Amino acid sequence: MLEVDKVFAGSIPENYDRHMVPLIFEAYAAETARRVASFSPLAVLETAAGTGAVTRALAPKLSADATYTVTDLNQPMLDYAASRQGLDSRITWLQADALKLPFEDATFDLVCCQFGAMFFPDRPAAYREAKRVLKPGGHFLFSVWDRIEENIFADDVTNALARIFSHDPPRFLARTPHGYHDKDLIRSDLAAAGFCDVAIDTRAEQSRASSPRVPAVAYCQGTLLRNEIEARGAGSLASATDYAEAAIAERHGRGAVAAKIQAHIIVAVA
C-alpha cells in the first residue's frame, strides 16, 4: 500500500458514501451489524469507520445502555459519517489511528472494522492494539475483500483502465482494497497479535446498480483510484470514467447491472 492510499479528502467522502456504500458496502454492513449484535456487547469500538455504513446499521441494534465509540483516521470521512447519523447519546466520534488507539487496556467488549484492515500499514500492530483494548474474551470482528477477480466490477474497471493507461496502469483497487485476501496470512497476522479461535467466513453478495454508469463513477470517482487517474493528466478522470462505463456495459449490458462481490468476515477472540 502507498501512503496516498490512506488520504480520503476533498469530494471523495461524499462520492464514496453516495456511490460506493449502496453498491458494495450496505449488504456487508447489515451482516456485520447482525453479527456484532449477536454478542450483546455493552462497549463497542469501531475503527476505520469510513462514512458510517456500519455505524448506521449497528446503532439501532445495540442496547440502550451500550456505549459506541466510532473512529477513523481521516477526519473528513468521520465528519461525513457523523453528519449522516441521527443524534445518539451512546455514540462518541473520535479521530484515531487504529495503530495507536487512545484508550485504556481492556476497555471494550467488541472491536469491529469493516473493510479497513487492508489500509493498515502494519496489520499485526493494528491487531495488537485491538487486542489490547479488548477485555479478555472479547471479540474482534472485521472484514476484508477477497481477491479482485472475485469482485467483478472492480476487476472490470481495473482491466479497462489498464487498456487506456497501458504505460502506467492505475492499480489502486488491486493493490489495496483487494490486496489482503490470503486467509493463511490473515490467520498468521492475528496469531502474531495474540488472538485465538479465529473463524473466517467467505461470503459472496451481489453488487447491483441501475446502470453501468453507477459502478464506473463509484470506483473511478468515489475511491482513491480517482487520485491515480487524475495524476495521469488533465481531463483523465472524465474520459477514464466514460471508458470504464463502456467496458461494464459491454460485459453486463446497458440497463440495470449486477455482478458478484466477495469478502472474508473474520471473528477472533482476545
User: Which one-letter DSSP state was computed for residue 104?
Assistant: -
Alpha-carbon distance 11 to 25, whole Å?
19
What is the pTM (predicted TM-score) of this model? 0.92
Residue 30: the pLDDT is 97
**Residue 93 φ/ψ, nearest 5 degrees:** -100, 130
Interior angle at CA 87, CA 82 and CA 88, nearest 5: 100
**pLDDT tens-digit series, residues 181-237:** 999 999 999 999 999 899 999 999 999 999 999 999 999 998 889 999 999 987 899
What's the mean pLDDT in 130-156? Answer: 98
Collapse the DSSP code of 105 into the 3-class scheme (helix H, G, I; strand E, B; otherwise coil) and give the result.
coil
Burial of 18 (0-12, 13-18, 19+ CB in 10 A): middle
Fill in the DSSP letter of residue 4.
G
pLDDT recorded at residue 230: 93
Q: What percent of the chain has pLDDT over 90?
A: 87
| pLDDT tens by residue, 257-268 | 999 999 999 999
